[in-house]
Amino acid sequence: MTKSPAREGARPLLWGVLVLSAAANAVTSALGVNLVLSTVFGVVTLAAGIALVANYRSRR
C-alpha cells in the first residue's frame, strides 16, 4: 500500500492546529473572553484531536 503525500503533510498541520487552538482556548477561558469564542476554539481543538487519531489509525 502506498502512502499519499497529502496524508503525510496533514499530520504536522493537524498538530499545529491542535496546539494553537488549545492555547487559544486556554487563554480565552482564563481571561473570561466571550464564551462562544472559547467554545469555538474548544471544538476546533477536539476536531483536530479526532483527525489526528483517525490519521494515526489509517496509517497502521
Condensed to tens digits (0 to 9), the pLDDT of residues 4-58 reads 555 578 899 999 999 999 999 999 999 999 999 999 999 999 999 999 999 999 9
Helix, strand, or coil (residue 1)? coil
Give me the pLDDT at residue 5, please: 56
Neighbour-count burial for 6-23, b at 16+ CB within 10 Å, e otherwise: eeeeeeeebeebbeebbe
Residue identified by cell 499530520 is 11
Cα atoms in the Cβ-side hemisphere of radius 13 Å centred on 31: 10
Cα distance between residue 47 and residue 42, in whole Å: 9
Give me the pLDDT at residue 59, please: 84
